[in-house]
A and B are shown apart, each in its own frame.
Chain A
């Protein structure tokens, strides 16, 4: 279907997986092309349930949530022209994304049955340059090369602006701002203050939260981990708060192997930064892992062993659709208490 002046294409984006990272890029890109962008609402229990119903039980929870969001989009906006499902293969010559991202459009297309066509932006720098993939995308919508290159550059610029803003501001709020739908507005959560008034703010601990953006900022599935940590008098740092210059170097494991997963690369680099330069600025590390996540299951082992060597407290939290809230709270409470006792006694 081509974009015409009369008909503005309605394109839906599921608010899951890399929306939490590249969302600002996608929306800017599609808006430059004069598309009407619809984003699915924040994750709810219903979405998780719907997703789990149709996805294979051995898939990781973020993919299941993605399925749920696609279904949610279809029911909320039945008149969508396309569903936007990107295919991230690699964005650096030597790196890959997780296999599940490689066939995400097919997984959704064949895993769920629906009629709305899927539109795919394929990012594969092993085969095409970034502009080429934009041009390929434009062919579907009927745009010429020039417009597509412009759209790409515009989106890139917007994306960088977003990252700069996120460096200082609240990442989750900034992401929510992308969605102008008033129905999807979220109120700031009121969280229980764990620390008695008398000593609040006096015994602060610094925590680094590692993990994929779609685990760290997906407040439904991680039960608002960052908010809770802040309610426990913690200063929380995430990957996004690290200076960009830290991500330029190539990373090796055991000095002879190179690391080839894109998002694990960022996690490892952050972990290494805090092992090296930022060692004294953090007291503990929490690694958010989704159950059945392949890359994390291995990278977690390296991070854990490194942290142990440097005697930095480390906790891994495994997320799945069954995990209860109380277990998670007990773990983070014990963890912060443990650090606090170590630090101040």
Chain B
């Protein structure tokens, strides 16, 4: 049986996931299709009624991929924290089995990436023997995932900041799509290491108006919702089109880094939010509060909290933020809770009203005046000339070929054994 592996797409993050699994030998990695209304409805049909939206979406994606793409193995990250995420995999597996599909869901334990439990799935999917060879492939996969993940983060970060300044409407969207397409197809480490230059070069081509001081907002909330543009109605683009500079609090790369305990940005946010939420309660609750307080200090004009309807941690965070308004939390905040029935019409009204509110604040409220700082990304893209970076060549030039030689070793062994027979 051919193993066809797939995973939930989670917006553009699928590019990074694909990078992670593709180098594994003996499996075919299927590119998950873009989430559509049909997929969400399919998922909602078979899910428990009151479960949170990411469950329904990912289940819909799985069923769609089984039916139309013949997938039989799914990789799903779980987190046995206090929130529902840790239960997705067992219940989705149960539902799929009851529907008569013979599939396996392999959980990735992402509780703490430093305990390396997340390596298990790789051993489970591959049936190739000889651990050394697999390690090489895994390292390769991880490198792809990290590089691609970090570039996705860069692209989406630049996107939110550039879109409100673009002179020709739609330039940014086109650039982003083009870049992500290139990134998806790029499997050469040497080129990947230089990819940030491509990103900056492409964004530099967009004609922008640098003199304006747009309204600044931060969008944060539950990872899946914020990162999946179909589900959140492409909220980043919608706000960008209204002429608002969008900062994003979530990224897959940042999350993985956090789970490896090296995301110091998140550590500071945790420290800021500690009086309100003393511990990680799942979801993004603690970081949402951290982001919120930080944004208020930095003079942002608004904050968007997006989360799935009835999400336990996010709703708790919302309760705390709402309870502290207007003092000491005066930064305008809008809550968007998404479920499969959320329609764009209702959202647009609220979005436009929120933009108007922020504009009025800029005009009348001294708290929101004269604290605009041009984001460093603009300077990064448009002012700093390209530099040659030597350190990466060490990796691509020496370590890579060395690992490649190791990769041959197990193959030779296999050949020998066959010879003896």
- Show the binding face of A for B, using Cβ within 8 Å: 54-56, 58-59, 89, 96-100, 102-103, 106-107, 110-113, 253-254, 256-258, 260-261, 289, 291-298, 300-302, 305, 318
The answer, yes or no, to whether B312 is at the interface (CB within 8 Å) is yes
A residues near B52, Cβ cutoff 8 Å? 294, 297
- Quote the shortest CB–CB distance from A154 to chain B (angstroms): 28
* Among A58, A254, A292, contact of B90 (Cβ-Cβ < 8 Å): A254
Bound complex: CA A263 to CA B193 (Å): 49
User: Which residue of the partner chain B has the closest CB to A289?
Assistant: B50
Contact present for A113 and B323 (CB under 8 Å): yes
Contact present for A298 and B91 (CB under 8 Å): yes
* Known A-B contacts A96-B82, A111-B323, A260-B86; A292 and B277 likewise in contact (beta carbons under 8 Å): no
A residues near B279, Cβ cutoff 8 Å? 89, 102-103
Contact present for A302 and B91 (CB under 8 Å): yes
Contact present for B48 and A301 (CB under 8 Å): yes
Contact present for B316 and A103 (CB under 8 Å): yes
The answer, yes or no, to whether B278 is at the interface (CB within 8 Å) is yes
User: Which residue of the partner chain A has the closest CB to B49?
Assistant: A297
- Quote the shortest CB–CB distance from B211 to chain A (angstroms): 41
Contact present for B315 and A56 (CB under 8 Å): yes
A residues near B51, Cβ cutoff 8 Å? 297-298, 301
Bound complex: CA A100 to CA B285 (Å): 11
A residues near B49, Cβ cutoff 8 Å? 297
The answer, yes or no, to whether B409 is at the interface (CB within 8 Å) is no
Contact present for A254 and B93 (CB under 8 Å): yes
Number of interface residues of B (CB under 8 A): 43
B residues near A295, Cβ cutoff 8 Å? 84
Bound complex: CA A318 to CA B84 (Å): 19
Bound complex: CA A335 to CA B315 (Å): 34
Contact present for A102 and B50 (CB under 8 Å): no
Bound complex: CA A135 to CA B309 (Å): 39
User: Which residue of the partner chain A has the closest CB to B320?
Assistant: A110
Bound complex: CA A298 to CA B48 (Å): 7
Contact present for A305 and B281 (CB under 8 Å): no
The answer, yes or no, to whether B263 is at the interface (CB within 8 Å) is no
Contact present for A298 and B87 (CB under 8 Å): yes
Per the 8 Å Cβ criterion, residues 256-282 of B in contact with A are 276-279, 281-282
User: Which residue of the partner chain A has the closest CB to B55?
Assistant: A298
Task: Provide a sorted-by-A list of 27 A–B residue pairs whose CB atoms are within 8 angstroms.
Answer: A56-B319, A58-B315, A97-B82, A99-B281, A100-B316, A102-B279, A103-B279, A103-B285, A106-B276, A106-B320, A110-B276, A111-B322, A112-B323, A253-B94, A258-B80, A260-B82, A260-B86, A291-B50, A292-B50, A292-B310, A293-B50, A297-B48, A297-B50, A298-B48, A301-B94, A305-B98, A318-B50
The answer, yes or no, to whether B313 is at the interface (CB within 8 Å) is yes
Contact present for A257 and B315 (CB under 8 Å): no
Bound complex: CA A113 to CA B325 (Å): 11
- C-beta contact mask, B81-125 vs A, less than 8 Å → 1, else 0? 111101101110111001000000001000000000000000000
The answer, yes or no, to whether B337 is at the interface (CB within 8 Å) is yes
Contact present for B89 and A257 (CB under 8 Å): yes
Bound complex: CA A318 to CA B48 (Å): 13
A residues near B140, Cβ cutoff 8 Å? none
- Quote the shortest CB–CB distance from B419 to chain A (angstroms): 39
Bound complex: CA A299 to CA B316 (Å): 21
Contact present for A107 and B319 (CB under 8 Å): yes
Contact present for A294 and B310 (CB under 8 Å): yes
Bound complex: CA A98 to CA B52 (Å): 15
Per the 8 Å Cβ criterion, residues 134-174 of B in contact with A are none
Bound complex: CA A202 to CA B103 (Å): 49
Contact present for B82 and A98 (CB under 8 Å): yes
- Quote the shortest CB–CB distance from B48 to chain A (angstroms): 4
The answer, yes or no, to whether B318 is at the interface (CB within 8 Å) is yes
Bound complex: CA A53 to CA B351 (Å): 25
B residues near A100, Cβ cutoff 8 Å? 312, 316
Of A99, A291, A292, most B-chain CB atoms within 10 Å: A99
User: Which residue of the partner chain B has the closest CB to A102?
Assistant: B281
* Among B48, B276, B282, contact of A99 (Cβ-Cβ < 8 Å): B282
User: Which residue of the partner chain B has the closest CB to A96?
Assistant: B82
